[in-house]
């Protein structure tokens, strides 16, 4: 007797219990708290907020915990929560020039007003595993910086004084995006895509994917001659216009990382030679992501700047359609769902094709045998 | 932490059928346009759902937007009600919409499906909601949306015929066995989702409304009832569906789609209905295949040996 | 907009149970669109300010919101209707029919279909849906309809549509897949004539 597989519901419930058990791990150890994650695995929390497009450290930390540290799963959890939130409106553009920067470096000038500020960086740490950290040795407080809290002039503004770099966006007023910016989580996607939506897609795009694409441009697949004009990390004010009040209300402060790439541009028939920009902005502290985003943003402007589109990083449909890791993981992993109906159809076809092939060969063999007999 | 209790508490505060009303309106508008332009893929602002992309988010959004308290929902995957993802989606709607569910095709007002169309003829008043992974029938011929959109606009489907004809040149017949493209109401070439081509004829002049949701690809399309749906073919190579050499081993049904079930590691196998409800109904009505329960006591070993040749 | 502009009329007469009534109204519209020419019940009990009818109001609240520009026929362009729309669904009211997602009119005050958006060849879904209040679903000129959703051919006879309607529909049908979709309402009942439906005069058919 054949009994079809039943009891999917019980199997699912058991699987979830097992997941909860493995997540908790050894019960003799204290459970990790959301606060600990926010404080001590802050960059993981930042990545989840950035790629989930939701600035909520405690919720992102909960997602990391719930996902057992699986970043894409955590991003997915936070996004699914974000979808259900009501929209009250759009904030004003962040004024990153007013940022209280904890870190600001420029690769294009040796010194500049406000100076180079290294801040809390992994750069120049020797990547040697630290046994003291494992032993939870006490940590000294960070030294206070001179002039802390003062806004720093943006490198791109310095260049803009001489018109050496394009104005924000393209310098072509026709290319200015319409206000307010679009939102690809609320509107159907359409190609070609305006730069505001592209930037949104990149800001929530997969860090690894953007890193690889940005890297590819440096290796010659659509070279953009970039200089890291400036990278800054720090807190900025979020403000929202309230029409009923007639002025903007401060909603709070968020930490962001901004990268302005300065790219060589020889000019075109319409535009004088000047530097162009690639822009990266992400929630939290993530230089790698902001820099990769800026490289890819600049590459995707190939069409607008009259450059030949020859490399993957310049291909808007390719980049934007595949940058979303929650979509990508869903579709890759859906292959583990049953496909036996389609597989049956293919089995049937392959058996038929093989039978035809064998029959044809047998026919040929017969003919050969007959010839030989004659 | 207990995942299940936390989840149910949270869901209590979600809207009926999970989606917020503005999202439902957006999807409902897309559905109405899809019905008005049969086979045309309407772009919609697909939402992030609490299940992964590629696992039915498009179908779930369509179902969530049409379902009401009077509906009875059936969910199938591969034709079966008890495959894990079907169970999961059905449980989701029970939780967020407190809706009546069934496994009986004829009792359902909404049937959400992945990869099959039920064997039983659907009737007026029923809605079949397909989960669609890749809605664009031209996608594997031309990966760019900007290009395929133009091809649909200009009704330029030559490439599709060339592809099918290349199959014939190489294999002697069309080698597409599932997701077999169709022409809807004489205008749009449409992907029927990865159903086996066996099911294609059921789409033609169906009495039920057929809705297709692709969440990751953000498209909704539709076939109204009583609409001509033609599988693409050539005069000298007409469209054909799969035929099985033996009836269902459990209910003896013929002319239905069968799953091949492996019984042992010596090549033993049996073929049973892919549509579990259809099979159960037939057995309840007294139909017996050669491996159904009653015969099993006496003839099981022989039958399996026979299957194994 | 200040609260003062909302009189009691604006805040009443909408759905009393928005989630389920919107669903019921949509299902009626979906079934009507899937089976052109058939009549379906919208949730009753809506009381928008005159001259906007209960059926039009139900369609509007089910489908319109800040994302859908709405065009109103001359007779509907009063303060009361505008305030009701602003409060009940927040849809922006536009003067140009070609930029409207939805247009509302009475049969005797219908805009030319060509004044509305038929969408584009690449995005034919970006077309206006025209909601028309008719006097009755029976008693008007007999019209034969065929197309997707209709088994063979069927007959409708809505009352009050302008004589030019059939010619306009023929022009609209010629644009397919572009085209305006039409929804007829009468009281709290609805019938749909999506762009895919082909209309012809019964008398002409008999002559042929």
Chain B window 214-273: which residues touch C at a Cβ cutoff of 8 Å?
Answer: 222-228
Q: Does B52 touch chain A (CB under 8 A)?
A: yes
Task: Give the pLDDT mean for A134-150.
Answer: 82
Q: Quick one: residue C45, left, alpha or beta (phi over 0 = left, psi -120 to 50 = alpha)?
A: left
- Domain architecture of chain C: domains with CATH: 3-207 (3.40.50.11310)
B285, B288, B253, B291: which is closest to B269 by C-alpha? Answer: B291
B53 touches chain C (CB under 8 A): no
Residue B31 reports pLDDT greater than 90: yes
Mean pLDDT of chain A: 89
Q: In what order do the strands lie in the sheet with B229-231?
A: B188-190, B182-184, B229-231
Residue B7: the pLDDT is: 37
Among C23, C41, C43, pick the best mutation site for testing chain B contact (most B Cβ within 10 A).
C23
Q: CA angle A73-A77-A79, nearest 5°?
A: 115
**What's the gap in Å between the CA of A213 and the closest CA on chain B?**
19
The one catalytic residue in B39, B56, B58, B186 is: B39
Taking the CA of residue B157 and the nearest CA in chain A, the distance in Å comes to 21
Per residue in A229-273, pLDDT (tens digit) is 999 999 999 999 887 888 889 999 999 999 999 998 777 777 778
Is C71 within 8 Å of C100 (Cβ atoms)? yes
Q: Does C22 touch chain B (CB under 8 A)?
A: yes
**To probe the interface with B, which of C17, C148, C175, C179 has the most B CB atoms within 10 Å?**
C148
**Among residues B304, B203, B234, which one has the least CA distance to residue B263?**
B304
Sign for the CA dihedral angle at A135, A136, A142, A143 comes to negative
Three-state secondary structure of chain B: CCHHHHHHHHHHCCECCECCHHHHHHHHHHHHHHHHCCCCCEECCCCCCCCCCCCCHHHHHHHHHHCCCCCEEEEEECCECCCHHHHHHHHHHHHHHCCEECCCHHHCCEEEEECCCCCCCCCCCCEEEEECCCCCCCCCCCCCHHHHHHHHHCCCCHHHHHHHHHHHHHHCCCCCCECCCEEECCCEEECCCCCEHHHHHHHCCCCCEEEEEECCCCEEEEECCCCCEEECCECCECCCCCCCCCCCCCCCCCCCCEEEEECCCCCCEEEEECCHHHHHHHHHCCCCCCCCHHHHHHHHHHHHHHHCC
- Rounded CA-CA distance A239/A250 in Å is 4
Q: Which residue of chain C has the CA closest to B64?
A: C23
The pLDDT tens digits of the residues spanning B270-294 come to 999 999 999 999 999 999 998 876 5
**pLDDT at residue B40 in the model:** 98
Interchain pair A1, B177: CB under 8 A:
no
pLDDT at position A16 over 80:
yes
pLDDT in tens, C87-119: 999 999 999 999 999 999 999 999 999 999 999
Active-site annotation holds for B299? no
Out of A142-156, B102-116, B215-229, B235-249, which region has the weakest mean confidence (pLDDT)?
A: A142-156
Is B273 catalytic? The answer is yes
Interface of C with B in 46-85 (CB under 8 A): 62-65, 67-68
- pLDDT of amino acid A324: 97
B14 falls in which pLDDT band (50, 70, 90)?
confident
Question: At residue C158, what are phi and psi to the nearest 5 degrees?
Answer: -65, 145
User: With an 8 Å Cβ cutoff, is C33 touching chain B?
Assistant: yes
> Least CB-CB distance to A188: which of B44, B178, B196?
B44
Q: Is B33 on the interface with A (CB under 8 A)?
A: no
Please tell me what DSSP assigns to residue A85. S
Residue that wins the pLDDT comparison between C3 and A100 = A100
Mean pLDDT of chain C: 94
Phi, psi of A69 (to 5 degrees): 85, 0
Looking at residue C208, its pLDDT comes to 52
Q: Do C35 and B224 touch (CB under 8 A)?
A: yes
Min Cα–Cα distance to chain C from B295, Å: 45
Rounded distance between C-alpha atoms, residue A98 and residue A253, angstroms: 12
Q: What is the pLDDT of residue A165?
A: 85
Question: How close is the nearest chain B Cα to the Cα of A262, in Å?
Answer: 30
What does pTM read for this prediction?
Answer: 0.90
Tell whether the model's pLDDT for residue A227 goes beyond 70: yes
**B175 neighbourhood in chain A, CB within 8 Å:** 349, 353
Comparing CB atoms, the residue among A13, A20, A341 nearest residue B115 is A341
- pLDDT single digits (tens) A275-329: 899 999 999 999 999 999 999 999 999 988 888 899 999 999 999 999 999 999 9
Q: How far is CA A96 from CA A104, A215, A296, in A?
A: 12, 26, 21
Most confidently modeled of A84-88, A177-181, A265-269, C24-28? Answer: C24-28
Q: Do A2 and B57 touch (CB under 8 A)?
A: no
Please give the Cα distance from A182 to A201 (Å, whole number): 11
Distances (CA, A) of B147 to A141, A142, A300, B42, B190: 58, 56, 18, 16, 16
| Least confident range of A82-91, B38-47, B213-222, C171-180 | A82-91
Q: Is C62 within 8 Å of B188 when comparing Cβ atoms?
A: no
Closest residue by Cα to residue A58 from A76, A41, A80, A83: A41
pLDDT tens per residue across span C13-45:
999 999 999 999 999 999 999 999 999 999 998
B39 catalytic per annotation: yes
Q: Per-residue pLDDT averaged across A5-29, rounded?
A: 89
Taking alpha carbons only, the member of B113, B74, B89 closest to residue B199 is B113
B248 counts as catalytic:
yes
Task: Give the model's pLDDT for residue A170.
Answer: 42
Interface test with C, best of B32, B93, B124 (most C CBs within 10 A): B32
């Amino acid at each position: 007797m054949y009994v079809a597989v039943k009891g999917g519901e019980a199997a699912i419930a058991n699987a979830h219990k097992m997941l909860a058990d493995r997540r908790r791990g050894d019960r003799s150890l204290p459970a990790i708290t959301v606060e600990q994650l926010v404080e001590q695995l802050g960059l993981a929390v930042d990545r989840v907020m950035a790629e989930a497009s939701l600035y909520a450290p405690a919720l992102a930390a909960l997602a990391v915990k719930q996902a057992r540290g699986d970043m894409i799963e955590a991003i997915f959890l936070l996004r699914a929560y974000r979808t259900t939130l009501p929209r009250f409106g759009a904030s004003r553009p962040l004024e990153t020039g007013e940022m209280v920067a904890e870190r600001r470096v420029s690769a294009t000038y040796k010194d500049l007003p406000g100076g180079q500020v290294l801040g809390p960086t992994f750069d120049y740490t020797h990547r040697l595993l630290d046994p003291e950290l494992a032993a939870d040795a006490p940590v000294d407080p960070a030294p206070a910086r001179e002039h802390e809290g003062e806004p720093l002039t943006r490198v791109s503004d310095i260049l803009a004084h001489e018109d050496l770099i394009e104005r924000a966006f393209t310098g072509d007023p026709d290319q200015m995006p319409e206000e307010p910016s679009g939102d690809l989580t609320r509107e159907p996607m359409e190609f070609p895509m305006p730069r505001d939506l592209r930037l949104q897609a990149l800001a929530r795009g997969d860090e690894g994917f953007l890193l690889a694409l940005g890297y590819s441009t440096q290796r010659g697949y659509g070279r953009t001659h970039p200089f890291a004009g400036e990278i800054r990390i720090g807190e900025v004010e979020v403000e929202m216009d309230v029409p009923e009040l007639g002025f903007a209300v401060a909603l709070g402060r968020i930490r962001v990382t901004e990268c302005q790439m300065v790219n060589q541009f020889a000019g075109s028939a319409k535009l004088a030679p000047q530097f162009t920009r690639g822009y990266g902005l992400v929630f939290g502290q993530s230089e790698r992501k902001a820099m990769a985003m800026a490289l890819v943003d600049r590459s995707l402007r190939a069409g607008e700047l009259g450059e030949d589109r020859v490399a993957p990083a310049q291909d808007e449909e390719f980049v934007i359609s595949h940058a979303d890791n929650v979509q990508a993981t869903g579709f890759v992993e859906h292959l583990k769902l049953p496909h036996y109906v389609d597989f049956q159809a293919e089995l049937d076809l392959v058996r038929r094709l093989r039978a035809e092939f064998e029959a044809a060969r047998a026919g040929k063999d017969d003919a050969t045998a007959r010839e030989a007999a004659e | 932490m207990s995942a299940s209790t936390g989840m149910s508490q949270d869901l209590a505060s979600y809207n009926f059928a999970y989606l917020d009303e503005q999202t439902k309106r957006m999807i409902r508008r897309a559905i109405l346009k899809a019905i008005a332009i049969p086979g045309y893929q309407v772009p919609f602002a697909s939402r992030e759902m609490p299940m992964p992309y590629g696992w039915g988010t498009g179908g779930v959004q369509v179902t969530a937007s049409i379902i009401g308290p009077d509906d009875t929902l059936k969910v199938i995957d591969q034709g079966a009600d008890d495959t894990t993802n079907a169970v999961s989606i059905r449980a989701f709607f029970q939780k967020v919409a407190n809706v009546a569910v069934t496994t009986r095709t004829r009792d359902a007002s909404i049937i959400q499906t992945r990869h099959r169309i039920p064997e039983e003829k659907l009737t007026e008043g029923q809605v079949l909601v397909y989960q669609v992974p890749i809605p664009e029938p031209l996608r594997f011929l031309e990966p760019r949306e900007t290009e395929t959109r133009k091809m649909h606009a200009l009704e330029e489907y030559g490439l599709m015929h060339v592809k099918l004809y290349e199959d014939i040149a190489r294999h002697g017949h069309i080698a597409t066995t599932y997701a077999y493209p169709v022409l809807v109401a004489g205008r749009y070439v449409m992907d029927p989702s990865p159903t086996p081509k066996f099911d294609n004829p059921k789409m033609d002049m169906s009495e039920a409304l057929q809705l297709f949701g692709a969440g990751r690809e953000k498209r909704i399309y539709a076939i109204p009832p009583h609409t001509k749906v033609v599988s693409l073919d050539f005069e000298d190579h007409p469209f054909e569906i799969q035929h099985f050499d033996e009836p269902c081993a459990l209910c003896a049904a013929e002319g239905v789609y069968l799953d091949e079930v492996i019984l042992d590691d010596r090549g033993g196998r049996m073929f049973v209905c892919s549509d579990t409800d259809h099979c159960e109904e037939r057995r309840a009505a007294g139909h017996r295949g050669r491996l159904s329960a009653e015969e099993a006591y006496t003839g099981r070993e022989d039958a399996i040996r026979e299957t194994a040749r | 907009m200040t609260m003062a502009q909302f009189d009691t009329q604006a805040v009443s007469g909408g759905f009393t149970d928005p989630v389920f009534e919107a669903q019921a109204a949509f299902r009626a519209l979906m079934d009507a669109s899937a089976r052109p020419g058939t009549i379906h019940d919208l949730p009753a009990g809506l009381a928008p300010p005159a001259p906007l009818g209960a059926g039009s109001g139900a369609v509007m609240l089910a489908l319109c919101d800040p994302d859908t520009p709405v065009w109103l026929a001359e007779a509907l362009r009063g303060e009361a209707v505008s305030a009701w729309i602003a409060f009940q669904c927040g849809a922006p009211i536009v003067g140009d029919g070609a930029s409207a997602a939805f247009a509302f009119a009475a049969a005797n005050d219908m805009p030319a279909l060509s004044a509305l958006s038929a969408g584009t060849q690449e995005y034919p879904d970006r077309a206006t849906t025209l909601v028309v209040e008719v006097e009755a679903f029976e008693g008007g000129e007999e019209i034969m309809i065929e197309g997707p959703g209709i088994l063979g051919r069927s007959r409708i006879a809505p009352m009050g549509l302008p004589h030019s309607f059939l010619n306009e529909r023929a022009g609209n049908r010629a644009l397919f897949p572009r085209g305006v979709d039409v929804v007829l309402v009468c009281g709290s009942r609805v019938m749909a004539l999506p762009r895919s439906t082909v209309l012809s005069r019964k008398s002409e058919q008999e002559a042929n």
